[in-house]
Chain A
Amino acid sequence: MATASPSVFLLMVNGQVESAQFPEYDDLYCKYCFVYGQDWAPTAGLEEGISQITSKSQDVRQALVWNFPIDVTFKSTNPYGWPQIVLSVYGPDVFGNDVVRGYGAVHVPFSPGRHKRTIPMFVPESTSKLQKFTSWFMGRRPEYTDPKVVAQGEGREALQKAVFSVHGFTSPRPALVHIKGT
């Protein structure tokens, strides 16, 4: 009994952006958003958010904790374009300006259950030393106009000469449930 219409399935993501480790920076907040293909659409929940500003704990862990909830449900007919969560972390520099401290992206897990993901974050860097100095001095570092570029596979060689690895780790913890439609 073949059905002509494509089957719709739902993907529910519940979790949190738990914490980060950025050895060099403090007083950080993070923004999350989702990047997904054309066959996907969010049906419930928020697909973007901005967290609170957090400071490092005084103990030996030096943890930056956000405990920031993520709650979204997608519907789709095709696994192509599986959603990715894009995280951007911002913090103040020496002069008090808000600068980007890291971008990172990861696919939402593919199987139901509890998952923990640790994401490396990276930051664009200018190639010329003079530009690096002026951007440090002016507080205007290279930044992506649209953070969603981090989740795309094409055109990343154009990000070449522009990436520098700051090792901060954030841990989103989604649990997800697959519901198959008719």
Chain B
Amino acid sequence: MAEVHVIGQIMGASGFSESSLFCKWGIHTGAAWKLLSGVREGQTQVDTPQIGDMAYWSHPIDLHFATKGLQGWPRLHFQVWSQDSFGRCQLAGYGFCHVPSSPGTHQLACPTWRPLGSWREQLARAFVGGGPQLLHGDTIYSGADRYRLHTAAGGTVHLEISLLLRNFDRYGVEC
């Protein structure tokens, strides 16, 4: 079986209009992939930018997969939320990016988007908070049914991911 190590950090996020951000992240793989070690999803701490607008999480990611096929190459997906001083959480953006397929260290910048509702919901969000959220999280990383959505841009999630591949040449895969 070929093995893939995904090791790195979710460094932080920039470009969001809200402060006090945290991120829920997860990794989605196809049926041929098996997670040998590591946690498949997690949530960062809340961070408030002090200098500039970048919120830093430095959240470590360490995953070890074994796979029998290339289909369903891992995708990292994110939900960025903001938390106010009362402890209420509001969605700031959804985003996903594929894990790189070449070994080495990569800097990734993942753009995010959030669903816009009707003009009434947008007004309510501006005053009271809240706003529409996705019912099914898999829309974040899948293309099906996206045409139904009307969205606005959020900020960018920054990651540094390193990839170590093992035994791929045994299966005739060049990387």
Contacts and interface: CB of A to CB of B under 8 A. Distances in A.
Interface of A: 23, 37, 78-82, 84, 104-107, 109-111, 119-120, 122, 127, 150-154, 156-157, 159-167
Interface stretch (B5-13, B70-78, B94-102, B121-129): B5-13
12 contacts: A37-B62, A79-B5, A81-B37, A82-B5, A105-B58, A106-B58, A160-B22, A161-B87, A163-B47, A163-B48, A164-B48, A167-B56
Interface in B45-74: 45-52, 55-56, 58-62, 64
A19 B118 CA distance: 51
B38 interface: yes
B90 interface: no
A52 to B, nearest CB: 25
B37 A107 contact: no
Contacts of A23: 51
B64 A80 contact: yes
B99 to A, nearest CB: 14
B60 to A, nearest CB: 5
B133 interface: no
A166 B54 CA distance: 11
B164 interface: yes
Contacts of A111: 104-105
A110 B7 contact: yes
A-B complex: 6 closest residue pairs judged by Cβ atoms: A120-B56, A159-B45, A157-B43, A167-B51, A163-B45, A80-B64
B29 interface: no
A106 to B, nearest CB: 7
Interface residues of B, number: 36
A156 B47 contact: no
Contacts of A127: 87
Given A106-B58, A156-B43, 13 more contacts: A37-B62, A79-B164, A80-B38, A105-B60, A107-B7, A120-B12, A122-B58, A153-B38, A157-B22, A161-B87, A165-B47, A167-B51, A167-B52
B51 to A, nearest CB: 4
Contacts of A119: 58
Nearest to B8: A107
Nearest to B10: A153
Nearest to B56: A120
A165 B56 contact: yes
B22 A84 contact: no
B149 interface: no
Contacts of B60: 84, 105, 107, 151-153
A110 B42 CA distance: 23
